[in-house]
Structure 1
Amino acid sequence: MTPPIRFEDLPPLARAAVPAHSTPYSPDLLLWEESLPGGCHWSGVLRRGTTLRLTDLEGRANVSALFYNFEEKSERYNMPDTLKAQHTAFLTAGCALYSDMGRILCSIPMDSCGWHDTVCGALPQDAMDAKYGVARYQAHRNAMHRAGLEGLAIEAAKWGLSRRDLVAPVNFFSKAVADGEGRLSFDGAHRRPGQLVDLRCEMNVLVLLSAAPHPLDPSPDWAPGEVRLSAWRSGTAGADDPCRLRCDENGRGFINTERFFL
């Protein structure tokens, strides 16, 4: 097993961006760790009180992510409620990810990136083929091009879900900003090697991930970056947790979540 990335292992810029209230996890609590190659996809169930850390190893990662209540998969991440409840257009440390039932699926206690895109969606197959060229498995094997939306659909099918169950994902490690006319553009200088984000599961969560390029990434070359996944027992948000205290809406969301498990 690859040794987990500790706080002191991070590059100086990444260490400086970690919120002061956050503390590194103990390797003794590590449950598992694995690599998600660029362009590939992954899914799994993370139990309440488990944290999943995503680490951008090369500074070229984009991770499109969806979240579902594992006990009742019709309850899933809701982008509009997540943004309006917290008066934000992007996610970072202190934010929570809401379900469409007003509960908190995950929260973000630690983030060295500072901005994760919520509005641009995942790259569909036709757009990927037009941008990067067609590279199927039959000819290219593991170097094939995998579209972000297709990767999420494949992972969803493993759990009895279909394309109709896919909603707007979070794009971790990617920043898209709007100009005065509302046109979105990709901030290519935003990503750096070693950036990380922690997703603390406040429910039993089915997680779908795709490491395909962001839809607005201007690079003409297919070169999605590798991501390290690390999971450990962390516990859930306490009474004084910054994610709970960010706003009154988050406080109510955590109460709704805790009542679900009474």
Structure 2
Amino acid sequence: MVFIPTLSEKKSENSDYKKEILAGDGFMKRINKGDTLRIVDQAGNQAADTLFFLADDPADHYSASMTIQEQESLYLSTGTILVSESGKKMLKITADTCGQHDTIGGACSCQSNTVRYQREKVSMHACRDTFMLEMSRFASGYPFSKRDLAPNINFFMNVPVAPEGCLDFKDGVSGAGFYVELEALEDVVVLISNCPQLNNPCNAYNPTPIEVLIWKGEA
């Protein structure tokens, strides 16, 4: 099957919110129902580790297993509905110029870096660190903690699954300026770690910035 990218009519200069997130930095923000969120891979082959929580019940977060089961596919693209642990529809991917996003590779951690690469990498910055830092800073009545870190989405990351079930971290299929766009079907909170990974060759050992844009929905 040939992938035909779904382009959005929304122009970045008309967005209601825009923020660049440097490699290794994080982002956490409430997205209201009806709003549109766009994540842009500015230089190509960067991984944007992302989690979503229902704003009114953050314990009910994005579920990789429920989403995979609902769409009968391991990968996310245009038309995918992101589903919570309780089965609630959270967001819908409405535009995608990349075509494939990983939902099973998970976020890098200091511990996984030692397993995947070498023991000496244990002190290197990892996405789980960024997630924890952003949750500690987020102003909310909900006590976010490491218990809220579930299997996340890796936007723009290419993790093929071999016939025998093994995972492989390959060169990305994204390019400079590629983006994914999601419409919030409920009030949600988005949590992003722009991966600082210096060991994975998918980004030529050079992590780069991403950009987040938001368009407000009709009131």
In 1, are the aligned partners of 2:45 and 2:203 still within 8 Å (CA)?
no
Aligned counterpart in structure 1 of residue 49 of structure 2, from 35, 46, 64: 64
Q: Trace 1:119-198 onto structure 2 (pairs within 5 A).
A: 119-128=104-113, 131=117, 145-159=124-138, 160-198=143-181
Q: Deviations over 1:116-175 (max 9, x none)?
A: 000011000234478496697xxxxxxxx5301111122223342100111000000011
Match of 1:31 in 2: 16
Match of 1:49 in 2: 34
Give the TM-score normalised by structure 1.
0.72
Match of 2:90 in 1: 105
Shift of 1:38: 1.2
CA–CA distance in structure 1, aligned partners of residues 80 and 197 of structure 2: 21
Q: Structure 1: any 5+ residue segments left out of the alignment?
A: 1-15, 137-144, 237-262
CA–CA distance in structure 2, aligned partners of residues 148 and 86 of structure 1: 27
In 1, are the aligned partners of 2:172 and 2:202 still within 8 Å (CA)?
no
CA–CA distance in structure 1, aligned partners of residues 55 and 188 of structure 2: 5
Q: Deviations over 1:80-99 (max 9, x none)?
A: 11110111111001101001
CA–CA distance in structure 1, aligned partners of residues 102 and 162 of structure 2: 15
Percent identical among aligned pairs is 24
Which has the larger helix fraction? 1
CA–CA distance in structure 1, aligned partners of residues 41 and 131 of structure 2: 19
In 1, are the aligned partners of 2:17 and 2:214 still within 8 Å (CA)?
yes
CA RMSD of aligned residues (A): 2.7
Structure 1 residues 234 and 54 mapped into 2: Cα distance closer, same or farther (>3 Å)?
same
Q: Deviations over 1:64-83 (max 9, x none)?
A: 10100111111111111111
CA–CA distance in structure 1, aligned partners of residues 150 and 76 of structure 2: 17
Give the counterpart letter for 2:34 in structure 1. Answer: G
Secondary structure class of the residue paired with 1:223: coil
- The structure having more radius of gyration, on CA atoms, is 1
Give the counterpart letter for 2:126 in structure 1. Answer: A
Shift of 1:215: 10
Structure with the bigger RCO (C-alpha within 8 Å, sep 6+) is 2
Shift of 1:218: 3.7
Match of 2:187 in 1: 204
Give the counterpart letter for 1:217 in structure 2. Answer: N
Q: Structure 2: any 5+ residue segments left out of the alignment?
A: none
Secondary structure class of the residue paired with 1:60: coil
Give the counterpart letter for 2:133 in structure 1. Answer: I
Structure 1 residues 189 and 206 mapped into 2: Cα distance closer, same or farther (>3 Å)?
closer
CA–CA distance in structure 2, aligned partners of residues 37 and 205 of structure 1: 23
Give the TM-score normalised by structure 2.
0.85
Q: Trace 1:227-246 onto structure 2 (pairs within 5 A).
A: 227-234=210-217
In 2, are the aligned partners of 1:123 and 1:213 still within 8 Å (CA)?
no
Secondary structure class of the residue paired with 2:212: strand
CA–CA distance in structure 2, aligned partners of residues 47 and 220 of structure 1: 32
